[in-house]
C-alpha cells in the first residue's frame, strides 16, 4: 500500500503527521523545482507553520520538465515523509503542505493558472544555479530562458494577474546564489523588457524578490532509503526524503503581500541576508565542492568518507578558516569559528550518504560564488588561498577524467577547454570561459 491521506490514522505513534485539515487549505504558494531539497526545507517549514495554525499556505509544486516527482507525489495526495537521520537514529514526519505537483511540459496552462490564482501570494524557486539561465557575465541567456523556463510561466501568470486587477506576488528564490533576490529581480526585468515590456512598471510596483539563505544537507533519495521508510511506516512512500536534523532559513523581510509565519518555526526574518549567505556559500558550499572534487579524485563516494580522510579534512578546515572566513563580515552573534566546527560535524554524519558526484555537478555555475569570489577578495589583500587552488586543480582533473561527458550547462565549452592541453588558460585565462578578478591567482598556481 502507498502512503495516502486515508492511511495517516493508522501510522505508528512515533511518526509525526499534519495537525491541520489539509482539504481546507487554499494554495498560497506555487513552487518551481519541487525536488528533494524543497520537500525537506521550504515545504517542511510551511507544514510546521500550518501545524501552528497558519491557514491558506498549501503548495502547488511545479516540475519544469521531468514528470518523476509528480508521479511519486500525486498518487499519495502530495504527502511524503521527511526522515531526519543522525548517528543516534532516525525521526520521521509526514509533511502535508504540498497539495499537488504539476509538470510544466505536460500541463502548461495549469501552471500559469496556478501563478495567476487569486489565493497565490508567493512564487518560490529551487531550480539550481543553472536554472536561472545566466550567461558567464551574469545576464539572462535568452536562448536558455525559453518557453519551458520558469521565466515564461511566471510572466504569463503575472500578465493574467495584472489584467484581472489582482495584486502582485513575492518571488522567493531559494537557491545557492549570493544576493539571489537582487539577481532574480534583475533577470526577470531583462526577460520582461524583451518579451512583455508593458509589464515592467507593474512588476516593479507590485512584486518583490527577497533574498534568502537556505541550509540543509539533503542527499538524493536511494532505494535503501525508501525501504527504511517503508519498514518504519508499514507503507510505501515513493516521495520520501532523507536529511540531517540541522536546518536553517534566513529570509529578507521584503514581501509583496501576506506570508506564512515561518519565523515561528525556526526561520530567521532579517533586513540583510548577506552575512549569512556569504558564510554559507564560501564555507559550507565551498568546502562541499572541495570535498567533492578532491574526494572523487581520491576514490571516495560519500562526503562522510572524504572528510574522514586526514588530508581532505585538513583541506576543508583550511578552506573554511583560512581562505573563506577572513573575507566574511559576520552579523552580530554570528560566530564563524563555531560555524566551521558545526560544518565539520555535519559533514561527518555517517547516516547521510551524500554522494560527492551529486555535489560535483554543474561546477561552472557553483565555483564562482563558492571559490572564485573568495579567491579574488584574498588576492586583493595579498593573501593566498591554498585550499581553493587545490580544489580548482581537482575540478580540472574531474573534467579531464570525465571522458568527454561533463555534467554541466557549459559542458561543450569545458570539454573544448580540456582538449586545448592547457585547460587553466582556456578556462581562467584572459578571455576564457571563467575569466575574472581571480584570473591572475589561478594562473600563478599553474606556474608554481
pLDDT tens-place string over residues 417-426: 988 888 999 9
**CATH number of the domain to which 347 belongs:** 1.10.1040.10
What residues make up the domain containing 381? 274-447
- In which region does residue 421 sit, left (phi positive, over 0), alpha (psi from -120 to 50) or beta (all else)? left
Q: How many domains does the chain have?
A: 2
Mean pLDDT of 284-289: 96
Residues 388 and 328 in one domain: yes
Task: Compute the distance between CA of residue 298 and CA of residue 316 in angstroms, rounded to an integer.
Answer: 14
- On whether both 36 and 173 belong to a single domain, the answer is yes
Which of 244, 270, 296 is where one domain is finished?
270
Residue 256 and residue 281 share a domain: no
Q: Stretch 163-184: mean pLDDT, rounded? A: 96
Q: Is the pLDDT of residue 440 over 90?
A: no
310 and 178 in a single domain? The answer is no
pLDDT interval class at 404 (50, 70, 90): low
- Judgement on whether residues 262 and 305 belong to the same structural domain of the protein: no
Euclidean distance between CA atoms 395 and 376, whole angstroms: 18
- Give yes or no for residue 447 having a pLDDT over 70: no
**Domain stops at, among 270, 295, 327:** 270
Given pLDDT bands bounded at 50, 70 and 90, which one contains residue 333?
confident
What are 140's strand-pairing partners? Answer: 134
Whichever domain contains 211, its CATH number is 3.40.50.720
pLDDT at 70 over 70: yes
Give the model's pLDDT for residue 446: 60
All cell numbers assigned to 9: 490514522
- Do both 216 and 307 map to the same domain? no
pTM equals 0.85
Residues 256/170, Cβ–Cβ less than 8 Å: yes
Predicted pLDDT of residue 396:
93
Kindly state whether residues 43 and 111 are assigned to the same domain.
yes
Q: What is the tens place of the pLDDT at every residue in 246-272? A: 999 999 999 999 999 999 999 999 999
Residue 445 has what pLDDT? Answer: 66
Mean pLDDT of 54-69: 96
When comparing pLDDT for 403 and 274, which is higher? 274
DSSP conformation class of 285: I
Question: Which of 241, 270, 299 lies at the terminal end of a domain, its last residue?
Answer: 270
**134-157 average pLDDT score:** 93
Shared domain for 194 and 321, answered yes or no, is no
pLDDT for 355-364, tens place per residue?
999 999 999 9
Residue 448: pLDDT over 80 = no
Higher pLDDT, 353 or 200: 200
Q: Do residue 38 and residue 134 come from a single domain?
A: yes
Tell me: do 354 and 239 sit in the same domain: no
d(CA 234, CA 117): 37
Reference 294, options 386, 343, 356; nearest CA is: 356
Residues 174 and 133 both lie in one domain: yes
Which H, E and C letters describe 181-236, residue by residue?
A: HHHHHHHHHHHHHHHCHHHHHHHHHHCECCCEEEECCCCCCCHHHHHHHHHHHCCE
Whether residues 320 and 253 share a domain: the answer is no
Q: What is the arithmetic mean of pLDDT over 391-400?
A: 94
More confident residue, 55 or 402: 55
| 401 band by pLDDT with thresholds 50, 70 and 90 | confident
C-alpha dihedral (71, 72, 75, 76), degrees to nearest 10:
-160
Lowest mean pLDDT among 135-139, 197-201, 234-238, 346-350: 135-139
**pLDDT of 133 above 90:** yes
Amino acid at each position: 500500500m502507498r502512503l495516502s491521506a486515508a492511511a495517516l490514522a493508522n501510522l505508528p505513534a512515533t511518526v509525526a503527521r499534519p495537525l491541520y485539515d489539509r482539504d481546507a487549505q487554499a494554495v498560497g504558494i506555487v513552487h518551481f523545482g519541487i525536488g528533494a531539497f524543497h520537500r525537506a526545507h521550504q515545504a517542511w517549514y510551511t507544514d510546521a507553520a500550518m501545524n501552528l495554525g497558519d491557514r491558506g499556505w498549501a503548495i502547488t509544486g511545479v516540475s519544469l520538465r521531468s514528470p518523476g516527482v509528480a508521479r511519486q507525489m500525486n498518487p499519495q495526495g502530495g504527502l511524503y515523509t521527511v526522515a531526519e537521520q543522525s548517528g543516534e537514529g532516525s525521526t520521521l514526519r509526514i509533511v502535508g503542505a504540498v497539495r499537488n505537483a504539476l509538470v510544466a511540459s505536460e500541463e502548461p496552462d495549469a501552471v500559469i493558472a496556478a501563478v495567476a490564482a487569486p489565493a497565490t501570494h508567493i512564487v518560490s524557486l529551487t531550480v539550481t544555479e543553472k536554472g536561472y539561465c545566466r550567461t558567464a557575465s551574469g545576464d539572462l541567456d535568452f536562448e536558455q530562458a525559453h518557453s519551458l523556463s520558469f521565466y515564461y510561466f511566471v510572466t504569463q501568470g503575472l500578465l493574467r494577474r495584472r489584467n484581472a486587477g489582482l495584486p502582485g506576488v513575492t518571488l522567493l528564490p531559494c537557491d545557492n546564489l549570493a544576493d539571489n533576490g537582487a539577481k532574480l529581480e534583475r533577470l526577470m526585468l531583462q526577460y520582461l523588457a524583451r518579451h512583455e515590456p508593458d509589464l515592467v512598471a507593474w512588476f516593479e510596483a507590485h512584486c518583490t524578490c527577497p533574498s534568502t539563505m537556505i541550509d540543509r544537507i539533503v542527499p538524493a533519495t536511494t532505494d535503501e532509503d525508501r525501504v527504511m521508510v517503508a519498514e518504519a511506516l508499514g507503507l510505501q512512500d515513493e516521495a520520501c526524503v532523507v536529511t540531517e536534523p540541522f536546518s536553517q532559513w534566513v529570509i529578507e523581510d521584503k514581501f509583496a503581500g501576506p506570508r506564512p509565519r515561518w519565523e515561528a518555526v525556526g526561520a530567521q526574518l532579517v533586513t540583510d541576508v548577506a552575512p549569512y549567505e556569504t558564510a554559507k556559500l564560501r564555507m559550507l558550499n565551498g568546502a562541499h565542492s572541495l570535498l567533492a572534487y578532491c574526494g572523487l579524485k581520491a576514490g571516495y563516494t560519500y562526503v562522510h568518507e572524504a572528510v574522514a580522510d586526514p588530508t581532505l579534512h585538513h583541506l576543508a578546515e583550511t578552506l573554511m578558516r583560512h581562505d573563506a572566513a577572513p573575507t566574511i563580515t559576520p552579523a552580530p552573534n554570528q560566530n564563524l569559528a563555531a560555524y566551521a566546527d558545526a560544518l565539520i560535524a555535519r559533514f561527518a554524519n555517517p547516516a547521510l550518504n551524500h554522494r560527492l558526484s551529486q555535489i560535483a555537478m554543474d561546477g561552472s555555475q557553483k565555483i564562482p560564488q563558492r571559490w572564485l569570489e573568495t579567491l579574488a577578495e584574498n588576492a586583493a589583500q595579498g593573501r593566498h588561498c591554498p585550499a581553493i587552488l587545490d580544489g580548482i586543480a581537482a575540478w580540472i582533473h574531474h573534467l579531464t577524467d570525465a571522458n568527454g561527458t561533463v555534467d554541466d550547462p557549459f559542458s561543450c565549452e569545458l570539454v573544448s577547454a580540456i582538449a586545448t592541453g592547457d585547460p587553466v588558460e582556456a578556462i581562467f585565462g584572459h578571455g576564457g570561459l571563467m575569466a575574472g578578478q581571480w584570473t591572475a591567482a589561478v594562473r600563478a598556481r599553474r606556474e608554481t
